[in-house]
Chain A
Amino acid sequence: MSPNDVFDALILILLITCALAIARMKDLAAAVILFSVYSFALCLLWVHRGAPDVAMTEAAVGAGITAVLFFYTLARTGRREK
């Protein structure tokens, strides 16, 4: 197993952990923040896969703008899931 594989495997584990945490989370604001973390991990993986274009877009869209849009919605609908 090369260091590259270890790196890949760690990121994949981080991704799955984040996704599971998002699924369990009752606090929607925390879920959105976790989704940002998830997006950043994904974009790390994509730089590693030789896709810098995609990684840049994902960093700006997934981690930045999506979170802002979600937060503005949460400000009006309440942050707790019933």
Chain B
Amino acid sequence: MTEGLAHLDYIAVVILFAIGLYVVLTKQNLIKKIIGLNIMETAVFGLIVTSGMVDGGSPPLLGQGLEPPYASPIAHALVLTGIVVALSVTALALVLILRVKAECGSIELDELLEPDE
């Protein structure tokens, strides 16, 4: 990468994380919050995979005729586990949201927080 653009990936990842965090903080709709959380998660995955990259590197597969340097396999393994756990978290959150909807009739946080008369 050319000098000025060297950290472009990291900057983009930080921006994505900030957008996700903003969605989580400000939106009142619970589903929207979960989508924001997903954006934050993918931003972190992006950071890890990017830091595992080597210039001109190939996927970490031995015996396939690929030349070293290889990208870091640890980063990939971490992200792989991360994606599946993120999916589990999302599913659990969605089920909880359905439960909230069934019990309280709304999934807007400001309506849920209003004290009942």
The answer to whether A and B touch directly, with their CB atoms under 8 angstroms apart, is: yes
| Interface membership of chain B positions 32-59, coded 1 if the CB is closer than 8 angstroms to chain A and 0 otherwise | 1011101100100110011011100111
Dominant secondary structure at the B interface: helix
Per the bound structure, the CA–CA distance linking A66 and B31 in Å amounts to: 12
Dominant secondary structure at the A interface: helix
Q: Interface size bucket, B side?
A: 35 or more
A: residues with CB less than 8 A from B are: 1, 5, 8-9, 12, 15-16, 19-20, 22-23, 28, 31-32, 35, 38-39, 42, 45-46, 49-54, 57-58, 61-62, 65-66, 69-70, 72-74, 76-77, 81-82
B: residues with CB less than 8 A from A are: 1-2, 5, 8-9, 12, 15-16, 19-20, 22-23, 27-29, 31-32, 34-36, 38-39, 42, 45-46, 49-50, 52-54, 57-60, 70-71, 75-76, 79-80, 83-84, 86-87, 90-91, 94, 97-98, 101, 107-108
